[in-house]
Amino acid sequence: MNSAKSGRSMRNPASKLFSRSICTLALLSLAASPLGAKEGVDDLEPTGTYSVYQTDAAQTPPMGWNPWNAFRTDVDEAKIRGSAEALVDNGLAQLGYRYVNIDDGWALQRKADGTLKIRDTMFPSAKVEGYPNGTFVPFTDFVHGLGLKAGLYTDIGRNTCAQYHDAKSPNLPVGTMAERQVGSLGHAEQDMKAIFGTWNFDYVKIDACGVADYAPGTEPVESGRFAVFPPYIVRGDIPKSNPDAVEALYAQLGSAIKEWGGPDAVLSICAWGEALSPRWGHKQGNLWRTSPDIEFNWDSMLRNIDSAVYRTLYAGPGHWNDPDMLAIGHGDFDENHLTEARAHMSMWAIMASPLLLGYDLRHSPQELLDIVGNREVIAIDQDPAGNQGVAYRDGEAMVVVRTLSGPGSRAVAFFNRGDEPVSATVNWTQLGFAPDTDASMRDVWSHETLSPASGAITVKLGAREAKLFRIKGTPLDPDAVWLDEMPARINVAADGLGNHSLPDGWTPARVAAAPDGGPLAAGKTTFDKGIGLFASSRLELRTDGEFGRFTARPAVAEGAVPVQFQIYADKKLVAETKVVAGQIGAIDADVTGAKIVELVTRAGGTEQRGPMVAWANAKLQR
């Protein structure tokens, strides 16, 4: 077990702790450190800050196009330029699709001086006299000239994913073993300097196969073609993985990106939900994958939805859950499956997910352009408040409620996961509306205003159908905001789990439900609103001086020891209470003018994880 101190330094490595001079040393010691570090008790101390990855980038979920789902490594500059032009010509760029990203396959070699050589047969414009390794400047100039932004790809390890998973591709790095090490391990500064400082990219996607797939005993290593890397990621196996080491590599790249890319550079973490990345991604990058690669079938999309849909508390401006790029245009989501394509788009929009198109835009059927280019759906995805929706599931029916900016503004997705018709209902409590009030509704797919509703809305859904509504109603209390309605302003700073993993289907911290998916509860009492999580934990609320009071019913679902619930306003303790299992307390704190309010739970004991607790009915009063 790591000491509290080293556990903490690995969690906040953004800049100083990972200065260039010590990073090699730090990495060596990380590699050697025992697995399963426990979150230090220090993580519970209030910081008075909002400790997410802080830049100006990705204030709404990134939108754009990536060639991977269309071409894998069989990609070339003409296809990418053609797609960039198509984005402009078909109007998608105007709607916000602005990042044109290059994925795996572009790197030919790492030269002896550590610089990267571009595959100029793939990117002919990179061949410029005086640049023996080639340069991407003509390409990024072209993309920028269209009014778009450009992205590139690398890996935290020595080798990329295609080198393992697309081993027969003709477009893989060539040369000696060392020359084929085109991943950024040991080259964080140099590569980020090249990508952002020299080539002028705006976005980088950083994959993780280099620390996952080149383990002792694997074919690429045994065949002598690749150097062994003790895996930091064993897929699906946290005890055998080293989450701290993976996080540290991304942190190191993050500081290099801030240095060379400035505040507008986007860091996309691509560790497929492994190594606990969905629990620390918000501290280290602008978006982080929550799942394996999307495949072009319905079940794969459901799996990716489930990986992100309950992680509402982790998303907000500048940091987004990423259930992967859109599969629209392929397989179950092509022009012959418009119901499925609309459902896919509806769910990504309600989850505030990045919208990265991945089909050949040079030849797009109009029906697909109408789906990915639906202005009203995009407006929901890009709503500036940045709240991810809160999901409720009833069998195959799913309802996701997203609080939009503007009083009483909501979006609701009604989604049928299955192949039989279902009905789905959302009620006024879930919407946060006052009883007996009417709400106006608009169907953003049919572009129709529907007749007003009151109390609840029930819709019928055909097989695999989603409906997406924008709803405007009367808030329950015009002077109060329930935490359920402001997830984008809540940061899970310490989830109480250290490096322990949870059973499938559990979420470390959830809105309107306990981590196990059951109701927020203590004894026989349940609550419709609030946050369910574990003790010992700490949440940071970005209150920005707008509120006067915080009230909640602190509840403890289980455990043998009393749990201390504490409220801090700008680091000052303003209220606390102790609650035992099965009981519900009350807390009422003066938070007048506080910029950051912190909600801390402390449980003694030495269990692997603390008890499930809740900040039930938690709200901020103006």
Q: How far is the CB of 272 from ligand GLA (least distance, A)?
A: 6
Beta strands at 438-443 and 466-472: parallel, antiparallel or unpaired = antiparallel
Counts of helices then strands in the chain (DSSP H, E): 15, 31
Q: What's the gap between Cα 168 and its chain centre? A: 31
198 token code pair:
């020299």
Minimum CB–partner distance for residue 307 and ligand GLA (Å): 13
Tokens of 46: 């209030």
Nearer to ligand GLA, 73 or 564 (CB): 73
If you search the block for the tokens 């991943």, which residue do you land on? 183
Nearest-approach distance from CB 166 to ligand GLA, in angstroms: 6
Query: With contact defined as beta carbons under 8 Å apart, do 114 and 188 qualify?
Result: no
Name the residue type at position 7.
G
Min dist. Cβ of residue 234 to ligand GLA (A): 16
Judged by beta carbon, residue 272 or residue 428, the one nearer ligand GLA is: 272
**Segment (H or E) for 233:** none
Closer Cβ to ligand GLA, 68 or 415, answer by number = 68
CB of 209 to ligand GLA, least distance (A): 6
CA distance 260 to 202: 10
Closest approach, Cβ 533 to ligand GLA, in A, equals 29
Q: Which residue matches tokens 């009981």?
A: 583
Least separation, in Å, of the C-beta of 172 and ligand GLA? 10
Give the C-alpha distances (Å, rounded to integers) separating 524 from 64, 278, 557, 610.
48, 32, 10, 20
Catalytic residues: 207, 293
Residues listed for the chain: 622
Q: Which two tokens stand for residue 457?
A: 């809305």
- Say which residues have a Cβ less than 8 Å from residue 409's Cβ, sequence separation at least 6: 403, 470, 471, 472
Contacting positions for ligand GLA (CB under 6 A): 68, 103-104, 160-162, 207, 270, 272, 293
DSSP output for 552-591 = EEEEE-S-SS-EEEEEEETTEEEEEEEE-TT-B--EEEE-
Q: How far is the CB of 104 from ligand GLA (least distance, A)?
A: 3
Q: How far is the CB of 247 from ligand GLA (least distance, A)?
A: 18
**Nearest to ligand GLA of 272, 314 (CB atom):** 272
The residue among 37 and 325 lying less far from ligand GLA, judged by its C-beta, is 325
Considering the complex, state which of residue 160 and residue 430 has its C-beta at the smaller distance from ligand GLA. 160
Task: With beta carbons less than 8 A apart as the criterion, state whether 351 and 321 touch.
Answer: yes
Residue type, 551: T
Q: Which residue is listed with tokens 């979150």?
A: 39
DSSP state of 500: -
Contact 219, 210 (CB under 8 A): no
Assess contact for 422 and 461: CB atoms under 8 A: yes
Q: Nearest residue by C-beta to ligand GLA?
A: 161
Considering the complex, state which of residue 161 and residue 204 has its C-beta at the smaller distance from ligand GLA. 161
Nearest CB to ligand GLA, comparing residues 161 and 497 = 161
Kind and range of the H or E element at 42? none
Quick one: which H or E segment has residue 615? strand 612-621
- Residue among 539, 532, 154, 487 nearest 319 (CA): 487
- Give how far the C-alpha of residue 340 lies from the chain's centroid of Cα atoms, to the nearest Å: 23
Beta strand pairing call for 203-207 and 266-269? parallel
